[in-house]
């Protein structure tokens, strides 16, 4: 069986998941374990504060989400934009869908995550803003 509009189906599933999390966020966020990397090293990993950032996004509080982990917000917005583009192309052209993403993009994204993880642990002023508070 071939799915006719997979990107649209993914977008609908994502929207439903977003709504389910929005109304159950009080129950699952308290049960999340602390960051293992932070517990072992004392340093912030690129994902530290990501759960609280997602919780802020679910509530529509962009300021809180950015304070907790700006990388999560940027990646969420980029992912939503790419998915929206794929859905638009899928409905516009029958052979459309996700545009081809060049290989360098994956390396750039991985480098961004690593650099963010390093920079957020620097103890000087502009970089201390990247620490979850």
Q: How many helices (H) and strands (E) does the chain have?
A: 7, 0
pLDDT at residue 72, as a whole number: 93
* CB-based contact 69:57 (threshold 8 Å): no
Q: Give residue limits of the domains in the chain.
A: 6-128
Q: What is the pTM of this model?
A: 0.82
pLDDT along the chain (133 residues), means of 10: 77 90 72 84 90 87 92 91 86 70 86 93 87 82
Q: How far is CA 17 from the centre of its chain?
A: 14
**Contact by Cβ (8 Å): 98, 7:** yes
Alpha carbon distance 86, 81 (integer Å): 9
CA–CA dist 74, 66 (Å, integer)? 9
């Amino acid at each position: 069986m071939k799915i006719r509009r997979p990107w649209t189906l993914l977008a609908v599933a994502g929207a439903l998941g977003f709504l389910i999390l929005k109304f159950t966020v009080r129950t699952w966020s308290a049960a999340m374990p602390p960051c293992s990397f932070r517990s072992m090293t004392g340093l912030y990993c690129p994902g530290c504060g990501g759960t609280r950032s997602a919780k802020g996004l679910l509530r529509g509080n962009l300021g809180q989400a950015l304070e907790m982990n700006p990388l999560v917000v940027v990646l969420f917005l980029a992912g939503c934009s790419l998915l929206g583009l794929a859905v638009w192309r899928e409905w516009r052209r029958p052979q459309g869908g996700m545009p081809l993403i060049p290989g360098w993009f994956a390396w750039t994204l991985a480098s961004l995550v690593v650099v963010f993880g390093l920079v957020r642990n620097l103890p000087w002023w502009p970089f201390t803003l990247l620490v979850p508070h």
